[in-house]
């Protein structure tokens, strides 16, 4: 039962933070790691509104494995949680690779 609530809680957290980023009109850019430490002339190269929308969508997508994991945990306790974390690590790694490519192209 713990795994179901844990997966559902993580999914809700990712989804709510994603919505906040998506609807922030660029104001949540200060919460993006690394971006908040750039100088003003470097920040001018980025479209903060678009960047927050992209990050918000990704965070909402990150909620999906945990929702599926909660459903799997209903039938097999613990397997859904582990599989959700594995899928999330892969998604997060792809996000970091994409982020590095975007920053190098600017």
Q: What is the pLDDT of residues 3-50, one digit of tens each?
A: 899 999 999 999 999 999 999 988 888 888 777 777 888 878 888 888
Q: What is the pLDDT of residues 67-82, one digit of tens each?
A: 999 999 999 888 999 9
> What distance in Å separates the CA atoms of residue 29 and residue 55, rounded to the nearest whole number?
9
**pTM: predicted TM-score of the whole model, two decimal places:** 0.79
What domain count does the chain have? Answer: 1
Which residues does 1 contact at the CB level (< 8 Å), separation at least 6? 77
**What tokens were used for 33?**
């790691």
> What distance in Å separates the CA atoms of residue 19 and residue 14, rounded to the nearest whole number?
9
Q: Which structural domain range is residue 46 located in? A: 2-105
């Amino acid at each position: 039962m713990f795994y179901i609530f844990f997966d559902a809680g993580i999914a809700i957290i990712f989804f709510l933070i994603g919505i906040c980023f998506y609807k922030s009109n660029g104001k949540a850019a200060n919460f993006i790691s690394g971006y908040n430490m750039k100088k003003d002339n470097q920040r001018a190269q980025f479209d903060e509104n678009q960047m927050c929308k992209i990050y918000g969508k990704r965070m909402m997508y990150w909620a999906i494995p945990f929702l599926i994991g909660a459903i799997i945990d209903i039938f097999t306790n613990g397997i859904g949680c582990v599989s959700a974390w594995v899928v999330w690590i892969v998604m997060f790694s792809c996000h970091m690779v994409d982020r590095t490519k975007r920053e190098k192209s600017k």
